[in-house]
Amino acid sequence: MSLFDFSDATAVVLGGATGLGRAMAEGLASHGATVCVVSRSEDKAKAAADAIAEQCDGRCWPCAADVASEASIRQLRDTLSARYAGRLNIAINSAGINVRNPIERISVDEWESIQRVNSTGAFLFAREMFPLLKSSGWGRLINITSIFASRSFPGRTSYASSKGAVLQLTRTLAIEWADENITVNAISPGPFLTDMTRPILDNPEAYHRFCENVPMKRFAEPHELITACLFLASPASTFVTGAEIVVDGGWLAT
């Protein structure tokens, strides 16, 4: 269990106020890490951080930042640097948006807005967190991608393309940062019960049809992603970098 003792670790979870991000923030804080929960909404970040801190002896605090804004992510870097004395151990990018449309209905603005958050945002976050991860002596960057980085559906042109880009970003940075004692890995979730999947969850027929792709025949609960996060963030994964852990109930095995 000492491998999963994060008592001396500092962490930031981008998109940590809701869904999978919140589950991972809770998981890290409950194992001793000091965690910054980041959301575009200051109110959401504070509500989530306060709730986690109440459960985990105060080891959680909020920060508002917009992953699509270079200036905002730089400000996040400066805030973290001041709070963590210039050092950061664990950086998790769980921010993302998804708009479902066939390609003939996708405007350039819609396409670019999704790429800006999902892929450009991942790049900005990685670039600005790098000096803090490097200064800490050991670092972990974890990108939350998607099975749509490797598999797709109609109507997912923008989203799948953005997540494929994040997976390649992950692999490239793993090579670049290997000499810095920083590992870079991805977690690719399948269908989870989150706000992002609400359009499917609210349609019983669509939900049943979607579950036909999943050998386990269900959507996962957010807490079922925590162990993958803890493994990649911990000393148990010191020789794992450039990897993709798929948490999808067997979908990609079919």
The 8-class DSSP code of residue 219 comes to P
Q: Taking the domain 2-249, which CATH number applies?
A: 3.40.50.720
pLDDT in tens, 54-79: 999 889 999 999 999 999 999 999 99
86 φ/ψ angles, rounded to the nearest 5 degrees: 80, 10
142: nearest Cα among 219, 236, 29, 231: 231
The 8-class DSSP code of residue 221 comes to P
Residue 43: its pLDDT value, please?
98
pLDDT values of the chain reduced to their tens digit, one per residue, 254 residues? 588 999 999 999 999 999 999 999 999 999 999 999 999 999 999 999 999 999 998 899 999 999 999 999 999 999 999 999 999 999 999 999 989 899 999 999 999 999 999 999 999 999 999 999 999 999 999 999 999 999 888 889 999 999 999 999 999 999 999 999 999 999 999 988 877 676 777 778 878 888 888 999 988 999 999 999 999 999 999 999 999 999 999 999 98
Torsion angle in degrees (nearest 10) through CA of 14, 47, 132, 122:
10
pTM above threshold 0.85: yes
Q: Give the angle 233-39-176 at the CA atoms, nearest 5°.
A: 40
Residue 202: its pLDDT value, please?
75
The 8-class DSSP code of residue 48 comes to H
The 8-class DSSP code of residue 17 comes to T
Residue 1: its pLDDT value, please?
59
Residue 84: its pLDDT value, please?
98
Can you list the alpha helix ranges (DSSP code H) found in the chain? 19-30, 42-55, 70-83, 108-115, 121-135, 157-176, 198-201, 204-211, 226-233
Question: Which H or E element spans position 60?
Answer: strand 60-64
5 φ/ψ angles, rounded to the nearest 5 degrees: -95, 110
CB 36 within 8 A of CB 30: no
Residue 206: its pLDDT value, please?
79
Domain chopping of the chain, boundaries? 2-249
C-alpha span between 199 and 183 (Å, rounded): 35
User: Would you please indicate which residues are annotated as catalytic (active-site) residues?
Assistant: 159
**Helix 121-135 to helix 157-176 angle, to the nearest 10 degrees?**
20
C-alpha span between 42 and 59 (Å, rounded): 18
